[in-house]
Amino acid sequence: MRRRNLLMLGLLAASLTTPALAQSPYPNRPIRLVIPSVPAGVHDVIGRTWAEKVKPQLGGAIVIDNRGGGGGVIGANDVAHSPPDGYSILLGSTSTQVLSPAAMAQPPYDPVKSFAGVSVFSFSSTSIVVNPTVPVHSLKELIAYAKANPGKLSYGSAGNGSITNLAGELFKLRAGSLDIVHVPYKGIGQGVTDLIGGQIPMFSANATAQILDLHRAGKVRILSVNSQTRIRSAPDIPTSIEAGLPGMVAQTTFGIFAPAGTPKPILERINAVTQEAMADETFQRELLRVGFEPVLDVGPDKAAGVFQDELVRWAPILKTISMKPE
């Protein structure tokens, strides 16, 4: 009897300790960060900047997986249907969580139900940029020039359904339904090359370090930024609102998302290292240097709400502007 009781106690002890032993610390293998754009695009820049900062705290292994196309839908859909184990996460944005799904009759994922928000940590304002040969030096001059030359101007964007496409169409609408032709590119790289070379006279681009450096070098001319206030990385450039276009605000908010159903401790772990990074003033300066504005203290409980508020703001505009992801 005594031996039997000892055996039962041993089995009980094993049953209590096995789950604890089976739970490996997160992460214990590389994390895949899906960036829903081609390399060198605005998502790529901010995604890699975040990954480099947090990977030492997450075991040192974050694999970048660029999945461009569809206004970010292809990459976001990949993560939405990945196992909810924390090893496939998304660099989500206004494009993937608001604009592109709203522009589709049957989006392949629900931007709210398919994801668990982790952190919102940065945003980037779009800007209106021209080749220096275009005879304008302000947004008001551009509007006057476009009205005097209907159909002769064209603007490039990072692709159909992107925030830069929306910014360009919103500019045309706010400025009096300007007749400017949209030329979609697959990402920003070739578009900026064509802008510099004069193949396209105008571009709607996020005001990243690349665009700001080209502006300061005189290779392109930024006429305005589409934000509520001037951006800290370029306080000399006026906003479109200052130029007389109320409501001309178009910016990309960035955050980390995981598949719906991902355990809360994993979400909190990723958010914790993100908030640790955001508290670092050196990292904040790095974000500003590459053209992004830091966002602090927006974790799992608030992340989804940020994009829901954006959807409410954009909904009436999307009804006015016809947009389709590429």
| Digit-coded pLDDT (tens) for 245-272 | 999 999 989 999 999 999 999 999 999 9
In the chain, the N- to C-terminal Cα span, in Å, equals: 74
**For the residues 183-193, what does the mean pLDDT come to?**
89
Decide if 119 contacts 299 (C-beta within 8 A): yes
Share of the chain above pLDDT 90, in %: 67
Mean pLDDT of 114-130: 95
Q: Please give the pLDDT value at position 12.
A: 45
Those residues with Cβ within 8 angstroms of residue 94's Cβ, 6 or more apart along the chain or in another chain: 163, 251, 252, 253, 307, 310
Q: What does the CA dihedral 168, 169, 173, 177 come to, rounded to 10 degrees?
A: 100
Q: What whole-number distance in Å separates Cα of residue 235 and Cα of residue 241?
A: 14
Block residue for tokens 């039962």: 8
Token pair for 178: 């300007």
Question: For residue 97, what pLDDT is reported?
Answer: 93
Q: What secondary structure does DSSP assign to 244-277, as a single string?
A: T-TT---EEEEEEEEETT--HHHHHHHHHHHHHH
pLDDT of 83 strictly over 90: yes
The pLDDT-based confidence of 323 (bands split at 50, 70, 90) is low
Distances (CA, A) of 231 to 25, 225, 228, 239, 291: 40, 8, 9, 9, 8
Residue with more model confidence, 321 or 183: 183
**pTM of the predicted structure, to 2 decimals:** 0.76
Residues 221 and 141: beta-carbon distance below 8 Å: no
Check pLDDT > 90 for residue 114: yes
Q: Model confidence at 151, in pLDDT bands (50, 70, 90)?
A: very high
Lowest-pLDDT range of 53-62, 138-147, 272-281: 53-62
pLDDT of residue 321: 73
Averaged over 26-30, what is the pLDDT? 94
Confidence of residue 131 (pLDDT cuts 50, 70, 90): very high
Long-range contacts of 61-66 (CB under 8 A, 24+ apart): 61/27, 61/29, 61/30, 61/31, 62/30, 62/31, 62/32, 62/33, 63/30, 63/31, 63/32, 63/33, 64/33, 64/35, 65/32, 65/33, 65/34, 65/35, 66/35, 66/37, 66/38, 66/39
Q: Two tokens at 241?
A: 């609102």
Supply the pLDDT for residue 69.
81
DSSP SS3 for 221 = strand
pLDDT of amino acid 20: 40
Quick check: 14 pLDDT over 50? Answer: no
State the pLDDT at residue 9.
Answer: 46
pLDDT band at 304 (very low <50, low <70, confident <90, very high): confident
